[in-house]
């Protein structure tokens, strides 16, 4: 799914229960991480649930893999991945993910701790991108 498709799909739903279910369904489609990658080194600090992140750089693009032990968080991970996946480090640095969250009205419908966790994920992704930016 592209970012434009995600934004269009969100506009299709009238209420937040439907959007919430859609986010959870997105999370169900994530491949997840093997247990060997669910280590302390890959854990993102600041999330209410456990969230792990791995990444690789190929052809000047970054590819992220993330997983969580919570269904809604897996859905939020899917939203983040749709926004950032297979972009260059410079593109990720320039991307205003907060604006995407605003367009989705996402943070207004999450608990403070879930919102902070979402921002922690984005912060870690941008930190990785800074390490690859040229």
- For 53-73, write each residue's pLDDT tens digit: 999 998 789 999 999 999 999
Residues 6 or more apart whose CB falls under 8 angstroms from that of 29 comprise 78
Print burial letters for 62-94: b (CB count within 10 Å at least 16), e (below 16).
bebbbbbebebbbbbbbbbbbbbbebbbeebee
**Does the annotation mark 47 as catalytic?**
yes
- The whole-number average pLDDT for the span 82-89 is 92
Q: Give the range of the structural domain holding residue 62, as residue numbers without chain letter.
A: 3-132
Render pLDDT for 21-54 as a digit per residue (tens, 0 to 9). Answer: 999 999 999 998 999 999 999 999 887 899 999 9
- Helix axis angle for 71-84 and 3-12, nearest 10°, is 130
pLDDT over threshold 90, residue 86: no
- Helix axis angle for 97-104 and 71-84, nearest 10°, is 120
Render pLDDT for 104-114 as a digit per residue (tens, 0 to 9). Answer: 999 889 989 99
Q: How many domains does one find in the chain?
A: 1
* 134: confidence class by pLDDT, cuts 50, 70, 90: low
User: Strands 51-58 and 61-68: what pairing?
Assistant: antiparallel
pTM: 0.93
Cα–Cα distance measured from residue 76 to residue 82, given in angstroms and rounded to the nearest whole number: 10
Percent of residues, the chain, with pLDDT higher than 90? 81
Mean pLDDT of the chain: 92
Helix (H, G, I), strand (E, B) or coil at 48: coil
- The whole-number average pLDDT for the span 81-95 is 93
User: What is the CATH number for 61?
Assistant: 3.90.1010.10
Q: Which of 23, 44, 47, 53 is catalytic?
A: 47
Cα 54-57-62 angle, rounded to 5 deg? 75
Nearest to 118 by CA among 131, 130, 100, 134: 100
């Amino acid at each position: 799914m592209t970012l434009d498709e995600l934004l269009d799909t969100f506009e299709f739903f009238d209420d937040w229960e439907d959007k919430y279910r859609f986010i959870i369904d997105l999370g169900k489609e994530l491949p997840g991480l093997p247990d060997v990658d669910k280590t302390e080194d890959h854990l993102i600090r600041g999330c209410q649930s456990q969230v792990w992140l791995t990444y690789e750089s190929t052809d000047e693009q970054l590819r992220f893999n993330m997983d969580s032990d919570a269904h809604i968080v897996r859905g939020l991970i899917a939203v983040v991945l749709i926004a950032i996946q297979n972009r260059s480090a410079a593109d990720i640095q320039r991307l205003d993910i907060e604006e995407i969250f605003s367009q989705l009205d996402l943070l207004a419908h999450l608990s403070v701790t879930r919102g902070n966790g979402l921002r922690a994920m984005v912060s870690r992704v941008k930190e990785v991108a800074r390490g690859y930016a040229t």
